[in-house]
Structure 1
Amino acid sequence: MLYRVLTAATILIVVLLIGRAYVQARPAATSPLPTATTDEPRAQASTRETAVFAGGCFWGVQGVFERVKGVVDTTAGYAGGTQETATYDQVSSETTGHAESVKVVYDPSQITYGELLRVFFSVAHDPTQLNRQGPDVGTSYRSAIFYTNDEQKRISEAYIAQLNQAKVFKSKIVTVVTPLKGFYDGEDYHQDYALNHPENPYILVCDKPKIGALKEQFPELYREYRGK
């Protein structure tokens, strides 16, 4: 009898924790955010540009952006620290300055930097959570934009100001806009993790809702993704 009671209690705790994690990890926006009033012009010819975003566990952020039309490639990795400390074990110690990040290579003739920001703030994460994202706590899970040039800095800061002024979130955006000093690829087993482990409980609770939100809120940008 005691075993059954303990088992039932354990199950209840797990269910409550999963429910809490889902509420905390789901995107803060329930509808598409306004388009960026400050943006780069759409390129006239196909080319390649790079953006780097951090918004909690890189599994979910990569899972979103690799399904966006106009995105050519994505890589889960680390930004904010040095190359010597860019390993999962070290970053998880919360002593390296790194944030779990995703490098997004995109074609600006198909999608602009401002449109990527709109996806980032709408469905990829909750930009009002400070140094955490859902069940993941620490500076390595902070919300950050690592800009690669002054134009990205200008567009990012303008969009954050636009969203704060419009009060689209209940709390103020805490996303940090900082220069990219280096991006370091994550370990192979982290790449396409949400795609390769769709039944993982963490993916089901924290990341699958983000992909669903992308498909629902941005049907014109959504594409199926089956890996490289």
Structure 2
Amino acid sequence: MNPVIPGTTLAIHPERFPDAVTDLPAASTRHAVLAGGCFWCVEAVYLNLEGVVAVTSGYAGGAPSTANYEAVCTGTTGHAEVVDIEYDSNVISYGELLKVFFSVAHDPTQKDRQGNDRGTQYRSAIFFQSDEEKAVAEAYIQQLEAIGAFTAPIVTTLEPLEQFYPGEAYHQDFARRNPQQGYIRAIAMPKVEKLIHAFPDKLKGDA
């Protein structure tokens, strides 16, 4: 199994990534909060998945008083740009969301950055809401490390979710509303195309 480009840490064969051996049981609607760089891009990926009810871009990890874009961009608030994914766990599982997170949505080997976006607000993080979620995430990271899924160590942090703060209205559904914006064309759309190619069976009918 060689799901990476030699000399890089980016997955080129996400369809080869393993399913999570440990997963949460199906229980109707759940929420997952993930940080993988710019929330526009992560949101754009997850909105295409069957079973995902809604995706909200926002902030987690810091204080309520600094949960706004201007403050978070300073990189000093403790917040990360995150997405809150509301999903029907009878259709798509937490483990499947993590599979997409690690294989398509971002590069989990870049510490406090994604590409040219640098700062702790762009860190790779899973904000768990229960011990069960934490255990599933830990087990999946161990799976990926065991098979050498990346040529560098996974640096994704597991952080307890104290509070999710929805982002400003203009950040929501940004990629769909601004498909010709330069950043979206260069960063978000290649991830969406990768998702479509790798996981066609997981897409919504209109994706």
- TM-score of the pair, normalised by structure 1: 0.84
Answer whether contact 1:27 1:124 (CA < 8 A) is retained. Answer: no
Q: What aligned pairs does 1:1-228 form with structure 2 within 5 A after superposition?
A: 28-31=10-13, 32=15, 33-43=17-27, 47-223=28-204
Question: What secondary structure, in the 3-state scheme, does the structure 1 residue paired with 2:202 have?
Answer: coil
Give how far 1:225 is off: 5.8
Larger radius of gyration: 1
Number of positions where the alignment pairs a residue of Structure 1 with one of Structure 2: 199
Question: What secondary structure, in the 3-state scheme, does the structure 2 residue paired with 1:159 have?
Answer: helix
1:107-161 alpha-carbon deviations (Å, 9 max, x no partner): 1100110000001101000001110001100000000000011111000000001
Once residues 27 and 37 of structure 1 are traced to their aligned partners in structure 2, the CA distance between those partners, rounded to angstroms, is: 23
Once residues 125 and 206 of structure 2 are traced to their aligned partners in structure 1, the CA distance between those partners, rounded to angstroms, is: 25
- Which segments of structure 1 move beyond 4 Å, counting only runs of 4 or more? none
Give how far 1:80 is off: 0.3
Once residues 82 and 187 of structure 2 are traced to their aligned partners in structure 1, the CA distance between those partners, rounded to angstroms, is: 16
Once residues 142 and 224 of structure 1 are traced to their aligned partners in structure 2, the CA distance between those partners, rounded to angstroms, is: 32
Question: What secondary structure, in the 3-state scheme, does the structure 2 residue paired with 1:73 have?
Answer: strand
* Letter of the 2:146 counterpart: Q
User: Percent identity among equivalent residues?
Assistant: 50
Unaligned segments of structure 1, at least 5 residues: 1-22
Give how far 1:210 is off: 0.5
* Letter of the 1:52 counterpart: V
Once residues 118 and 185 of structure 2 are traced to their aligned partners in structure 1, the CA distance between those partners, rounded to angstroms, is: 19
* Letter of the 1:143 counterpart: S
* Letter of the 2:184 counterpart: I
1:99–1:225 CA distance, 2 compared to 1 (3 A)? farther
Unaligned segments of structure 2, at least 5 residues: none
Of 216-225 and 93-102, more deviation after overlay is shown by: 216-225
User: As a proportion of its length, which structure holds more helix?
Assistant: 1
Give how far 1:41 is off: 2.9
